[in-house]
Amino acid sequence: MDLLSRLLSLIPVTGRLELRCLFGAPWKIDQAVSGVREIPYHVLLSGHAVLEDVNGPSEQLTAGDIILFPAGNAHLIHDGSGATAGPESSSPKASLTVIENDGAGEKADFLCGRFLLGAVPDRLLRDHLPGRLVVHSALPERGGDIDDPAQSMARTRLRRLIELMHEEANDPGAGSEMFVNHLSAALFALTLRFATEGAQPPHGLLALSRKPRLQPAITAMFETPAEPWTLDQLSTLCHMSRATFIRQFQEAIGRSAADVLTEVRMTIAGRMLLHADTPVAEVGESVGYQSVAAFQRVFKRHVGVSPARWRSSGGNLQA
């Protein structure tokens, strides 16, 4: 199983498409901090826009761009004119709310929604993604960078998915709400795949997918977390010296292999606590902790609450 599939099997993600914004300049989308386990997203179907948030400098957006905020930060998207945005009106359309204004300038068309993370410890996903992720699904302009075949195919798939979401949002039929939400969840996975395979180096854990020599260690962490893995053992699996393994892992992800192993273990443990009646001590043993006290201590440090409290809350308590 590839790394992205492993992540999504541990941390289920569903999608919800909520808004279609049809604006004429001047306009703005001013979104507050998102709730726990929510990743807001926007898809610019047509027009141009400017993105501003705390994760970096302002960025120009064009049709086909997909914007995710894995950290859930507040953000502002606007037409870039500097003029004050006028009043908006909203109207329901099937499962969507359509928001429009009376701006006479350049038109912009957005689909906006949220990706919802399942009730499991989500640091393994959130902490290894950038606070802001912008993916360009439109073809490169003539004279610009040329896609390799894999990137071109991924770009085509993204565009098809966006077109299908657009069609269902614009002309809903029976079952559209569930259909569009399933497409929205697929958008999350396909967007991360595109970012991983793109020309720009991916951020965080997904960067390891570009390091085939490190894959045996990642496979071992996910498939046999109960093993008392040491750096010497993991480096041997990768046919590297200990020093080379440590350096390559740190360079790829900016984190140690021991940190990632702990995050994998706590994510697996968090799922087990919610989906089985296995005693806490046995859950700890299944992810490599012979001492229940040690497991409880690491789990609380990682997740923010004790294993027992996590279980009793249904996974709805996180620091």
pLDDT digits over 200-232, tens only? 666 677 788 888 999 999 999 999 999 999 999
Q: Domain check: are 230 and 155 in the same one?
A: no
Query: Per the domain annotation, does 319 fall within a domain?
Result: no
Q: Domain check: are 237 and 183 in the same one?
A: no
In the structure encoding, which two tokens stand for residue 255, read together?
């984190």
> Considering 142, 169, 203, which residue would you say is the last residue of a domain?
203
Q: Domain check: are 161 and 226 in the same one?
A: no
Q: Domain check: are 164 and 39 in the same one?
A: yes
CATH number at residue 175: 2.60.120.10
Tell me how far apart the alpha carbons of residues 238 and 213 are, in angstroms, rounded to a whole number.
6
Q: Residue 312: CA atoms inside 13 Å, Cβ hemisphere, count?
A: 5
Q: Domain check: are 28 and 168 in the same one?
A: yes
Query: Per the domain annotation, does 317 fall within a domain?
Result: no
> Considering 203, 227, 249, which residue would you say is the last residue of a domain?
203
Angle between helices 292-303 and 257-275 (to 10 degrees): 100
Q: Domain check: are 229 and 138 in the same one?
A: no
Quick check: 9 and 223 in contact, CB under 8 A? Answer: no
pLDDT digits over 145-160, tens only? 556 676 778 788 888 9
Query: Per the domain annotation, does 287 fall within a domain?
Result: yes
- The sign of the CA dihedral 127, 42, 51, 195 is positive
Q: How far is CA 123 from the centre of its chain?
A: 11
Q: Residue 243: CA atoms inside 13 Å, Cβ hemisphere, count?
A: 0
E strands, 130-182, are 133-136
Q: Domain check: are 143 and 251 in the same one?
A: no
Query: Where is average pLDDT lowest: 10-24, 105-119, 305-319?
Result: 305-319
Q: Domain check: are 125 and 178 in the same one?
A: yes
Close Cβ partners of 170 (under 8 Å, ≥ 6 residues apart): 20
pLDDT digits over 5-50, tens only? 888 888 889 999 999 999 999 999 999 999 888 999 999 999 999 9
Q: Domain check: are 10 and 132 in the same one?
A: yes
Looking at the structure of the chain, the number of domains it has is 2
> Considering 152, 175, 203, which residue would you say is the last residue of a domain?
203
CATH number at residue 224: 1.10.10.60
Q: Domain check: are 54 and 150 in the same one?
A: yes
* Strands ordered across the beta sheet of 48-53: 28-31, 75-78, 48-53, 56-62
Q: Domain check: are 77 and 225 in the same one?
A: no
Q: Domain check: are 158 and 306 in the same one?
A: no
Query: Per the domain annotation, does 279 fall within a domain?
Result: yes
pLDDT digits over 267-299, tens only? 999 999 998 899 999 999 999 999 999 999 999
In the structure encoding, which two tokens stand for residue 222, read together?
């996910």
Tell me how far apart the alpha carbons of residues 206 and 225 are, in angstroms, rounded to a whole number.
19
Residue ranges making up the domain that contains 225 = 211-312
